[in-house]
Amino acid sequence: MSIDWDELTARAIEAMEQAYCPYSRFPVGAAGLTADGRIVSGSNVENASYGCGLCAECSMVSDLVRTGGGRLVAVACVDSSRTPVAPCGRCRQVIYEHGGDDCVVLMPAGLMPMSKVLPGAFGPDDLDRSTLPAPPTRG
Ligand code: THU
C-alpha cells in the first residue's frame, strides 16, 4: 500500500492547529492511515488537572475506533514547528495496540516501523499467556 506522507502530515498539521493546550503551549497533532484507506486524526486536549490531559495520539485512536476501527498502517505526529515529533512512551503503546509491529511512524529521524519505535512491546497476544481462568463476562 502506498502511503502519501505529505497528505498524512498535512492532516496532522490541521489537527495540531485545533489542539487545546493552554497549560503547556505545546500543540500536537496526530494523523493515522488505516488499512482500508481512511485518515483519522486527533490533537492534544489538556486539563486544569494537568495529569488528566490527553495526548494527540490518544485522540487519534479515539477517532479510529469511533469511525469504524481497523488497523493503523502509518502515523504522523507534528508539533507547532509543523515537523515530526516523537510519540511519548504511553502513546507508543496506544499506537501499538492498533497498528502492531508493522505500522510505520514518521519519527524526527525518519520513517520507522513500530517494531523499532517500541521494541519488545507487550500487546494483546501476551494476554493469552495467562494461566488464570478468563474473567466473568458482564451483561
Ligand atoms: N503530547 C502529545 O500530545 N503527544 C506526545 O506524544 C507527546 C506530548 C502533548 C501532551 C501535552 O499536552 C503536551 O504535548 C506537552 O507535553
The residue extents of the domains of the chain are: 5-127
Calculate how far, in angstroms, residue 44's C-alpha sits from the geometric centre of ligand 1: 6
The Cα–Cα gap between 4 and 34 comes to 12
Task: Please state the rounded mean pLDDT for residues 16-33.
Answer: 98
Q: 37-57, pLDDT tens digit by residue?
A: 999 999 999 999 999 999 999
> Does residue 88's CB lie within 6 angstroms of at least one atom of ligand 1?
yes
Q: Residue 14 catalytic?
A: no
> Does residue 113's CB lie within 6 angstroms of at least one atom of ligand 1?
no
Evaluate if residue 132 carries a pLDDT over 90.
yes
Cα 132 to Cα 103, 122, 136, distances in angstroms: 31, 18, 12
- What is the predicted pLDDT for the residue at 134? 85
Domain 5-127 has CATH 2.60.120.260: no
Calculate how far, in angstroms, residue 55's C-alpha sits from the geometric centre of ligand 1: 5
